[in-house]
Structure 1
Amino acid sequence: MGEGGALNAVLASESLPASAAPTFAPVAEPRPQVSVLLLCFRDADYIRAAIESAFAQTVPCQIIVSNDCSDDATFDIAVEMVAAYRGPHRVSVRRTERNLGVSAHFNDAMTLAHGDIIVMMAGDDIAYPERVATIVRAFDQAPDAMVLGSDFDGIGTRGEPIKVSFRVRPERYELDYYVRIGRLIGLLGATMAFRRCVYDRFGPLLGPIEDNALSLRGALLGQSLCLRQPLIQYRRHPGSVSGTVFARDEPRAVATRRRYERTVQFYRGTADDLESCLRQMPELPEPKRRLARQVLAMYRIEADAREAIIAQPRWRWLGPVMRGLAQRGLRRKSAERALKLLLPRSWFGLR
């Protein structure tokens, strides 16, 4: 199929109303090795800088700007920029018929991605020009690597440098890392890239958040990388996904409870995705399957523990606490949680 035929196929597959159909810029040959998914929602103040940074990539890419049906000017700005684009990338812009949420929006946009490597971008971040080239080189040098992230430079609303706390991942690691450190956080989604088999092998993501699920899928299939080179400017602001998802900018009276409630949803969704992947991998070597089951148990236990703390009488805390004490990776955290049985909920931010 020629390039024009491929574009027609994409248009036919959208099934969107005319007002929401993708807008395409002039195309480039040959078919790009990399697809950039630039996912945006209510990013009108930042989307120009994000798209410009995607256009500035030094490796020709397929760039999909996908708006999750936001109620601001984000989509209109993106349409204008794509229509005016002249350059080496194959660029399109589209929006969903209705707001889908983070993971479902990602699944929706993935149906249009054709690259062997998928690079994630957010509508409020800025990629450095060498980002895609560095990612391609890293994957070429590490054939067993399935997913990678990178360091980043934090910026605020106006682009000013800020410090953003995020636990540094090892440069290379596998499933045992999650069990060893006892933390259920994957690569930072804004910095992620992955081989498309990480998605195609298992199908659409389950759960509400994409980064943990993709991180664990990559670890199931091979190694994970975290490049020490900052490849993006990661923006923190009140309307950012991380700010709203984790209630970082809400009053303390409600933030802790909402953060617990949302974390329960994320952990359960990630556990469901990992469990589904394991069912689809009967060939997985038993040592790796045991590690994956331990990670799965950690997600389930932590979800149950948080739900018990916010919604159950104290005697119901004992089950998750005891399971955590028996689970490698959760023993210290579960011991700390056991001490909370003796304290008023208000001492750790709950009513």
Structure 2
Amino acid sequence: MTTRRKFLKTAGVGAVAAPLAAPALAQSTITWRMQTYAGAALAEHVVQGMVDNFNKIAGDRMQIELFYADQLVPTGELFQAMQRGTIDAVQSDDDSMASPTEVTVFGGYFPFASRYSLDVPVLFNQYGLKEIWEEEYAKVGVKHISAGAWDPCHFATKEPINSLADLEGKRVFTFPTAGRFMAQFGVVPVSVPWEDVEVALQTGELDGIAWSGITEDYTVGWADVTNYFLTNNISGAWAGSFYANMERWNELPEDLQTLFMTCCDQSHYYRQWWYWGGEASLRVNGDKLQLTSIPDAEWATVEAAAREFWDEIAAESETKARVVEIIKQYNADMEKAGRPYRYG
């Protein structure tokens, strides 16, 4: 839309272009500002396609202007800015944007809630999380549009991690809930702006990250400033969503709402295969990170601790208890289903 407006403004200088009537177009076009949690390199894969598709189809009726991590407001202030209407829409997880809802703790990486990326859309669309998220966000004036899966959560570090003892004292950039959980194993969660992570790794402010899978490590440059990738993961898939200011959403005609949701779904689908294939390919063919592993028997203590963490969270409120019960039931069903849903 920016390019189109520049063209119209420039063309309007000449008599031949006068019939284009740029001011009328500007008045009739709905414009939204969306900010993503992702920096420019990552946003190209996780949201840019969604925005481009929407703008192409909506045309003169509506255009979305996309902003990257921290461009308009810090990621931790995204929710407040959207609620106020400073930003019309957001792509993030609940945890990172400091959402004041009962479901915030489950956004991003809730420890071991999922094993594979397909677990997330099934939990939302078949096990009832979608309705809970919609209810919680409606209470605070925000439309929860849809949730999808991203990559699994792994450690990428400057020093090798071969045992839980190696995590002791490591200063790690991670999500609030993941950091709260892993602190019991000696991890020291450190919060810095997303765009500052690479420099913080270079200067020694950070010893590593537990923010993504290996695809993002390569895509955003973190594989250039870390040396090792731990194959054990905290959770099988990041749970993120698209949200919008409720008033702005309700003002849209129904067909534009449908188009927005359809483009979100296409974005979720793209990420399913981009991450799934990318994670495997870079483990096999990547030349920047050496793979390490903590033995399964030792890592089982982390998985057991996660179940205790679930109960700790469930005790905090009725809504959290509902979500934890769904996560427990889902994982129990997958284990009973056996291969290929769960192995061992």
- Structure showing greater relative contact order (alpha-carbon pairs closer than 8 Å, 6 or more residues apart): 2
Larger helix proportion of the pair: 2
- With structure 2 as the length reference, what TM-score do the two structures score? 0.28
